Chains A and B, each alone.
Chain A
Amino acid sequence: MFVSDCRREFYDVIVNQRVLLLVASDVDALCACKILQALFQCDHVPYTLVPVSGWQELETAFLEHKDQFKYFVLINCGANVDLLEILQPEEDAFFFVCDSHRPINVVNVYNDTQIKLLVKQDDDLDVPAYDDIFRDEEDEEEDSENESDGSEPSEKRRRFEEDVIERTMKRRQRREWEARRREILFDYEQYEYHGTSSAMVMFDLAWIMSKDLNDMLCLTFQSQLQVNVALLVLHAPAAPNCILCSTEMQYRRATEEVLVLEFCYYFLRLALYQHWSLYESLCNTSYTSASLKLWSVQGQKRLQEFLADMGLPLKQVKQKFNSMDMSLKENLREMIEESANKFGMKDLRVQTFSIHFGFKNKFSASDIVYATVSLMENVEKEGPETTNFIKALDSLSRGNLDKLHQGLDLAKKQLRAIQQTVASCICTNLVISQGPFLYCSLMEGTPDVKLFSKPVSLCLLSKYLLKSFVCSTKNKRCKLLPLIMAAPMDVEQGTVIMVGIPPETESSDKKNFFGRAFEKAADSTNSRTLHNHFDMSIIELKAEDRSKFLDALISLLS
Chain B
Amino acid sequence: ERLRMFKNKGKDPTALRRQRVEVIVELRKAKKEEQILKRRNVERNEMEGNLSTGEGERHEMIQLSLEEIVQGVNGSDAELQLQATQATRRLLSRRKDPPINEIIELGIIPRLVEFLTYADNAPLQFEAAWALTNIAAGTSDHTKAVVEGGALPAFISLLSSPHMHVSEQSVWALGNIAGDGPLYRDAVIYCNAIPPLLALVSPATPVWFLRNITWTLSNLCRHKNPCPPLDAVQKMLPVLICLLEHEDKEIISDSCWATSFLTDGSNDRIQVVVDTGILPRLVELMASPELIILTPALRTVGNVVTGTNEQTQAAIDAGVLAVLPHLLQHAKPTIQKEAAWILGNIAAGPCWQIQQLITCGLLPPLVELLDKGNFNAQKEAVWAVANFTTGGTVEQMVELVQSGVLKPLLNLLLAKDSKTILVILDTISNLFLAAEKLGEAERLSLLVEKLDGLEKLEALQIHDNRVVCQVALNILEKYFPGE
Contacts and interface: CB of A to CB of B under 8 A. Distances in A.
24 contacts: A146-B32, A148-B292, A149-B32, A151-B32, A152-B25, A152-B257, A153-B218, A154-B179, A155-B180, A155-B219, A155-B222, A156-B138, A156-B143, A156-B179, A156-B180, A157-B175, A157-B176, A158-B134, A158-B137, A158-B138, A159-B130, A162-B47, A165-B55, A169-B47
Interface in B27-70: 28-29, 32-33, 36, 39, 43-44, 47, 50-51, 54-55, 58
B294 interface: yes
A149 B28 CA distance: 11
Contacts of A147: 250, 253, 292
A251 interface: no
B292 A159 contact: no
Contacts of A157: 137, 172, 175-176, 215
Interface in A134-178: 144, 146-162, 165-166, 169, 172
Interface in B311-327: none
Contact of A156 (B29, B39, B50, B136): B136
Given A153-B257, A165-B51, A158 B98 contact: yes
Interface of B: 25, 28-29, 32-33, 36, 39, 43-44, 47, 50-51, 54-55, 58, 89-90, 92-95, 98, 130, 133-134, 136-138, 143, 169, 172, 175-176, 179-180, 215, 218-219, 222, 249-250, 253-254, 257, 291-292, 294-296, 332, 334-335
B87 to A, nearest CB: 12
A161 B87 CA distance: 11
Interface residues of A, number: 22
A153 B260 CA distance: 12
A372 to B, nearest CB: 52
Contacts, number: 89
Contacts of B44: 162
Interface of A: 144, 146-162, 165-166, 169, 172
A157 B175 CA distance: 8
Given A153-B254, A162-B47, 19 more contacts: A146-B36, A148-B291, A150-B294, A150-B296, A153-B215, A153-B218, A155-B180, A156-B137, A157-B137, A157-B215, A158-B92, A158-B98, A158-B137, A159-B133, A160-B93, A160-B94, A161-B90, A162-B44, A169-B51
Nearest to A173: B50
Nearest to B335: A150
A162 B94 CA distance: 8
B176 A156 contact: yes
A158 B133 contact: yes
Contacts of A154: 33, 179
A144 B98 CA distance: 23
A-B CB proximity, top 4 nearest: A150-B295, A155-B179, A150-B291, A161-B93
Nearest to B40: A160
Interface of A is mostly: loop
A155 B176 CA distance: 7
B55 to A, nearest CB: 6
Nearest to A146: B36
A154 B36 CA distance: 12
Contacts of A166: 43, 47
Q: Which of A146, A147, A156, A169 has the most CB of B within 10 A?
A: A156
B66 to A, nearest CB: 18
A150 B290 CA distance: 8
A146 to B, nearest CB: 5
A148 B94 CA distance: 24
Contacts of A165: 47, 51, 55, 58
Contacts of A159: 93, 130, 133-134, 137, 169, 172
Contacts of B28: 151
Contacts of A153: 215, 218, 253-254, 257
Contact of B93 (A148, A158, A169, A172): A158
A166 B42 CA distance: 13
A157 to B, nearest CB: 6
A152 B29 contact: yes
A152 B222 CA distance: 11
A172 B89 CA distance: 26
Contacts of A158: 92-93, 98, 133-134, 137-138
Contacts of B253: 147, 153
A153 to B, nearest CB: 6
B58 A151 contact: no
Nearest to B215: A153
B147 to A, nearest CB: 13
Contacts of A156: 136-138, 143, 175-176, 179-180
A150 B254 CA distance: 11
B30 to A, nearest CB: 10
Contacts of B138: 156, 158
Q: Of residues B257, B291, B294, B335, which shows the largest number of chain A Cβ atoms within 10 Å of its Cβ?
A: B291
B29 A151 contact: yes
Contact of A161 (B94, B169, B180): B94
A151 B134 CA distance: 22
Contacts of B169: 159
